Amino acid sequence: MASPVALITGASAGLGVDFARQLSAEGHRLVLVARRKDRLDALAAELGNTRAIACDLAAPRAAARLMDDLATHDEAVELLVNNAGFGLWGRFFELDAKQQREMIDLNVGALTDLCRAVAPAMVERGRGAILNLASTAAFQPGPRMAVYFATKAYVLSLTEALHEELKPHGIKVWALCPGPTRTEFGEVAGFTGNGAFDRLSADSASVVRAGLKGLDRNRAVVIPGLANKAGAQGHRFLPRSLLRKITGKIKL
């Protein structure tokens, strides 16, 4: 019989490292994926019972190649944590077009491909779980991070739909929507460093802890932190035209 594994993407930094640590502590056998293999290897050595795969998930057919690798090792994904992702700060018409496209290929393309790749076997087994990393960015348009916010709106919408579709098959699907969290995200996104993001940032381990509780409770959407929960409800009491203007004024 294939060995059950938790597959975690983006496990070389930030939230992914904490997912790996917490899921390992719960007794999961892990497969970690990211581009920086040295970091994955170090984490795998620290945790034990863990395999590391270097993979650029924004590359064409990356998800298919990853699933082939798992099949070769006779591993069955019991939990998929679709965590790899990045954002870019700046005006849409000035940001690098190729990097923006890579963001869509990773945040949307690879995430969707991996959900599609693992779901059939989970349906067949009548159990499994998929956690997709969305963001509080999913709840409104984000001028100056337009593509990033749009990718996260997609992730939230897809995840909520899959939650309903797969529930009758015994599969739990949920979205974690963190607000600002202390990871390498801001550095990668190119925040100009006025400190606002850092001041508002939550601790990565506690965000992951809150996210994993969504599995026990079979929630469709988990928003960690009271301020983030309130912010995500903004669209209920503010007109969208105002909401997007406010979001565009926030300096990071």
Ligand X SMILES: NC(=O)c1ccc[n+]([C@@H]2O[C@H](COP(=O)([O-])OP(=O)(O)OC[C@H]3O[C@@H](n4cnc5c(N)ncnc54)[C@H](OP(=O)(O)O)[C@@H]3O)[C@@H](O)[C@H]2O)c1
Active site residues: 148, 152
Binding flag, residue 7, ligand X (CB under 6 A): no
Binding flag, residue 84, ligand X (CB under 6 A): yes
Q: Which stretch binds ligand X (CB under 6 A): 41-49, 50-58, 226-234, 240-248?
A: 50-58
Residue 211 and residue 221: Cα distance in Å, rounded? 9
Q: How far is CA 183 from CA 14, 77, 89, 194, in A?
A: 4, 26, 16, 16
Binding flag, residue 31, ligand X (CB under 6 A): no
| CB atoms closer than 10 angstroms to residue 85 | 27
User: Within 177-236, which residues bind ligand X (CB under 6 A)?
Assistant: 178, 180-181, 183-185, 188
CB of 86 to ligand X, least distance (A): 5
In SS3 terms, 170-184 reads as: CEEEEEECCCCECCC
* Contact residue for ligand X among 5, 7, 8, 14 (CB under 6 A): 14
CB of 16 to ligand X, least distance (A): 5
Q: How far is CA 158 from CA 12, 93, 112, 151, 173, in A?
A: 25, 27, 8, 11, 10
- State the binding string over 134-163 for ligand X (x if CB under 6 A, else -): -x----------------------------
- Largest distance between two CA atoms of the chain: 55
Give the interface size with ligand X as a residue count (CB under 6 A): 30
CA atoms within 13 A on the CB side of 213: 10
Residues binding ligand X (CB under 6 A): 9-16, 34-36, 55-58, 83-87, 106, 133, 135, 178, 180-181, 183-185, 188
